Copies of this chain bind each other. A is one copy, B any other.
Amino acid sequence: VGRPPITLDAEEIVGAALHIFNEKGLDAVSMRTVSARLGVSPVPVYRRIGNKEALLDAMANRLLADVAPLPAARENWRHYAFRWVTALRTRLGSTDVKLLIGERRAPYVEASRPLVEKLQASGFGPDAAVQACRLLIWATVGFVIVETRRGNRPSRRGGRRAPGGDPAGVSPAETDRLFELHLRFLLDGLERARLTVSRSR
């Protein structure tokens, strides 16, 4: 039919998409459902966002934009690193968030800025700080990816599981302790290597 131009920017589109995401999950987010929620045809959404992948990127960035907790002035780097990692782990806790953010990279990089600063302020060289951050992100993302159960979907066949080796009966508390142990190994290693790692580039 052809209506006048629409007051609609990319932020609004991402907001609508996240609304659907939070209410009905990742599967419910489509270019059509998002545009319908905004009361327009899909075309204006394509004009502003590009395509679906760009929309998912933008959603992931927004979802991680505010994960990093504020570092306290006198907080030591180990303590802050622990809080930072815990915040990330919690934010990635939901299955759908994990599916959305999982494989992307940019959101983590963005979120790690305050941690990098804290590390630098604590005596890490610039490169060492960035590298320490990457280690912590790997540990957290790997943990979340592998350990977060997804809601036991149907999967009618093919489930023959060889007996005896699957640690499926592990309690969440146990897994929590193990994650903290992993973290401690990393922090200990970083502590010891603090001044050595930066010897590169």
On chain B, the residues within 8 Å of A184 by CB distance are 189
Which of A116, A134, A200: most chain B CB closer than 10 A?
A134
- Judge whether A145 and B141 touch: CB under 8 Å: yes
Interface string of A176-190 (1 = CB under 8 A from B): 011001101110111
On chain B, the residues within 8 Å of A186 by CB distance are 182, 185-186, 189
Given contacts A57-B158, A165-B116, contact A138 B182 (CB under 8 A): yes
Q: Which residues of A9-67 have CB atoms within 8 Å of chain B's CB atoms?
A: 10, 48-51, 53-55, 57-58, 61
On chain B, the residues within 8 Å of A193 by CB distance are 181, 185
Q: Which residues of A114-165 have CB atoms within 8 Å of chain B's CB atoms?
A: 116, 130-131, 134-135, 137-143, 145-147, 150, 153-158, 161-162, 165
On chain B, the residues within 8 Å of A178 by CB distance are 131, 134-135
- Judge whether B134 and A167 touch: CB under 8 Å: yes
Task: Give the interface size bracket for A toward B.
Answer: 35 or more
- Judge whether A158 and B50 touch: CB under 8 Å: yes
On chain B, the residues within 8 Å of A182 by CB distance are 135, 138-139, 186
On chain B, the residues within 8 Å of A57 by CB distance are 155, 158
Cα separation A182 to B139 with both chains bound (whole Å):
9
Residue positions of A touching B, CB distance < 8 A: 10, 48-51, 53-55, 57-58, 61, 98-99, 102-103, 105-106, 108-110, 112-113, 116, 130-131, 134-135, 137-143, 145-147, 150, 153-158, 161-162, 165-168, 174, 177-178, 181-182, 184-186, 188-190, 193, 197, 200-201
